């Protein structure tokens, strides 16, 4: 399938091109549709990864060793994460995945970016919260993973729902999941090691792509004296134009 044409101003060669050429978006899309996720190992060049790891260590220690999350690229100076949402190869990949799985041209990407740094006493509260993302494609790069104690896997039950036609149905799904009873049931399955919950062992510098909108997922905790940090770009909110969503967001 031909790739969508990018506007010329987006076709700049980024300073940190991935080491290996990115795979065919159609293959990645098929894998995500089939298995719920796809992994590209060693996506980030080692020097860029090291800079981002130093950044995270400084941020966590500047926060008293506690959990923090940084939204948007603005405060990510000195790391490849600041440039990541504009990386032309990455944009082409995201648009190609969308086009392959939806069968229609991908809209101009705009991402919701977040850098999560789990550590300290608040690591546990920010773990094992099973959810659906509001965006179709979730791209995750592990920056630091704990080297001892709990391993901080990504937990995923692949493709548990379809793309909802309306925001109202999507909202209902979220209510059915985001309540103490459902969370307790899922945590119970997790503790029993139920096989419906896949464990993705995250390797720093890899690119993990999954359908966060369609798949119930969450992260495992890490021990308080370790750091588990993930950089995430969320791509494409299918209900962005919903009047109901706008109304609910206003309050």
By CB under 6 A, tell whether 245 contacts ligand AKG: no
What's the closest the beta carbon of residue 15 comes to ligand AKG, in angstroms?
26
Contacted entry of Fe ion, ligand AKG, none for residue 154, CB cut-off 5 to 8 Å set by kind: ligand AKG
Please give the Cα distance from 40 to 101 (Å, whole number).
Answer: 18
Residue (58 or 174) nearer to Fe ion, CB: 174
Which helix (H) or strand (E) covers residue 138, if one does? Answer: strand 137-144
Quick check: 36 binds Fe ion (CB under 5 A)? no
154 binds ligand AKG, rule: CB under 6 A: yes
* By the rule CB under 5 A, 220 interacts with Fe ion: no
Nearest to 229, CA basis, from 114, 132, 135:
114
Give the footprint of ligand AKG on residues 92-131 (CB under 6 A): 114, 116
Other CB atoms within a 10 A radius of the CB of residue 102 amount to: 14
Token duo for residue 28: 């990645």
- 223 is a site residue for ligand AKG (CB under 6 A): no
Q: Beta partners for 216? A: 157
DSSP state of 133: -
Which one of 145, 210, 212, 215 is in contact with Fe ion (CB under 5 A)? 212
Q: Is 214 in the site for ligand AKG (CB under 6 A)?
A: no
Q: Is 133 in the site for ligand AKG (CB under 6 A)?
A: yes
Choices 4-12, 105-113, 126-134, 189-197; region in contact with Fe ion by CB under 5 A = 126-134
Pairwise CA distance, residues 96 & 191, whole Å: 37
Q: Which of 228, 96, 98 is nearest to 151 (CA)?
A: 228
Q: Determine the 3-state secondary structure of 216 from DSSP.
A: strand
Residues in touch with ligand AKG (CB under 6 A): 114, 116, 133, 140, 154, 217, 219, 230, 232
């Amino acid at each position: 399938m031909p790739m969508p044409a990018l506007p010329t101003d987006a076709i700049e060669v980024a300073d940190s091109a991935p080491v290996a050429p990115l795979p065919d978006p159609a293959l990645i899309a098929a894998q995500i549709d089939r298995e719920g996720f796809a992994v590209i190992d060693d996506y980030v060049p080692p020097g860029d990864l090291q800079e981002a790891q130093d950044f995270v260590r400084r941020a966590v220690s500047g926060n008293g060793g506690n959990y923090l999350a940084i939204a948007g690229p603005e405060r990510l100076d000195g790391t490849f994460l600041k440039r990541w949402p504009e990386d032309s190869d990455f944009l082409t990949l995201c648009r190609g995945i969308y086009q392959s799985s939806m069968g229609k041209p991908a809209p101009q990407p705009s991402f919701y970016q977040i850098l999560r740094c789990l550590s300290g006493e608040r690591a546990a509260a920010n773990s094992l919260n099973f959810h659906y993302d509001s965006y179709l494609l979730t791209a995750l790069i592990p920056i630091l993973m704990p080297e001892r104690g709990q391993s901080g896997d990504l937990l995923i039950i692949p493709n548990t729902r379809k793309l909802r036609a309306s925001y109202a149905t999507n909202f209902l799904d979220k209510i059915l999941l985001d309540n103490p009873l459902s969370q307790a049931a899922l945590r119970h399955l997790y503790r029993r090691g139920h096989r419906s919950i896949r464990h993705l062992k995250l390797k720093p510098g890899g690119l993990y792509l999954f359908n966060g909108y369609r798949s119930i997922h969450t992260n495992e905790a890490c021990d308080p004296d370790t750091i588990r940090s993930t950089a995430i770009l969320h791509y494409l909110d299918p209900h962005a134009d919903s009047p109901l969503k706008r109304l609910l967001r206003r309050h």
